[in-house]
Amino acid sequence: MNVLERLFDAQLVIAGAPILWREIIGNLFGFASALGGMRRRVWAWPIGIVGNALLFTVFFGVAFNNPQHETLFGQAARQVFFIVTSVYGWWRWNQVRRLNHQGDDAPVLTPRWATARERVGYVVFWVVGVAVCQQVFAALGAGFPAPRWYFVCDAWIFVGSIVATYAMARGWTDFWLAWIGVDLVGVPLLLHSGFYPSAVLYVVYAAFVLWGFTVWLRVQRTEAPTREPERAVTA
């Protein structure tokens, strides 16, 4: 157990700032999952689950004693949601692949824009979700005297991540735009809280998101729509 505990608590010190290896490795898994998502590969989902589990232990500092001595409830909670949604996305993409008789390494689906109704639905969910979650996070506290904007930003990241991950599972091109919205708030908040590897990854990821967005747009214009019978694959 001592060996496992040392590995769990292993840190890298950069410019005097202690950084958990769990945070670095978890973010690398997250980036690999994003790459798989851009390529529309099923393996993106299980890879992402591993990264989410590691990052949960980083952001839920009140239980795992992270070196920042801060808990980002929104960041921690979204890792739990990511795991749940990734199980759904994993199942759904596997279903589509089987229905279309695709090989294990073939792109799973052809992306599309969300319909007007679907778009209104996730925008309303995002706005209402931020209003509710920032109240919940403020009631829970952050372990230090945090201003209200801190909880609003944390809620924005949490709810936006829910929207983006669900949209990816549904194959909506909109999910890239949702991630851009998350990154615009996520980078400043992570820098403010001392989670530097995550902040750096968010910056890199923002550039990757723009690239992925153009890739999915090109695919959307050139590929035939994925055959996806509603009775076989449901929401």
pLDDT at 231: 39
Residue 229 lies in a domain: no
Each of the 235 residues of the chain gets a pLDDT tens digit; together they read 566 666 666 666 666 666 778 888 888 888 888 888 888 888 888 999 999 888 888 777 645 555 555 556 666 777 888 888 889 888 888 888 777 666 666 677 788 999 999 999 999 999 999 999 999 888 877 666 678 888 898 889 889 988 998 898 888 999 999 989 998 998 888 787 777 766 777 788 788 889 889 999 988 888 755 544 433 444 4
17: nearest Cα among 216, 199, 203: 199
* 234 class by beta-carbon count within 10 Å (0-12 exposed, 13-18 middle, 19+ buried): exposed
pLDDT at 99: 78
What does the alpha-carbon distance between residue 131 and residue 15 come to, in Å, rounded to a whole number?
A: 37
Give the number of C-alpha atoms closer than 13 A to the C-alpha of residue 130, restricted to the C-beta side: 18
Cβ neighbours, 10 Å, residue 176: 24
Owner of token pair 């692949």: 97
198: nearest Cα among 101, 80, 64, 68: 68
Helix axes 174-193 and 148-170, enclosed angle (nearest 10):
150
In this structure, the chain runs to a length of 235
Find out whether 152 and 72 touch, Cβ atoms under 8 Å.
Answer: no
pLDDT at 146: 74
Find out whether 189 and 150 touch, Cβ atoms under 8 Å.
Answer: yes
Residue 73 lies in a domain: yes
* 195 class by beta-carbon count within 10 Å (0-12 exposed, 13-18 middle, 19+ buried): buried
Distance of CA 182 to the CA centre of its chain: 9
Could you tell me the residue range of the domain that residue 86 belongs to? 2-222
pLDDT at 177: 94
Residue 227 lies in a domain: no
3-state class (DSSP) for residue 172: strand
Residue 205 lies in a domain: yes
3-state class (DSSP) for residue 3: helix
Find out whether 40 and 107 touch, Cβ atoms under 8 Å.
Answer: yes
Cβ neighbours, 10 Å, residue 208: 18
Total domain count, the chain: 1
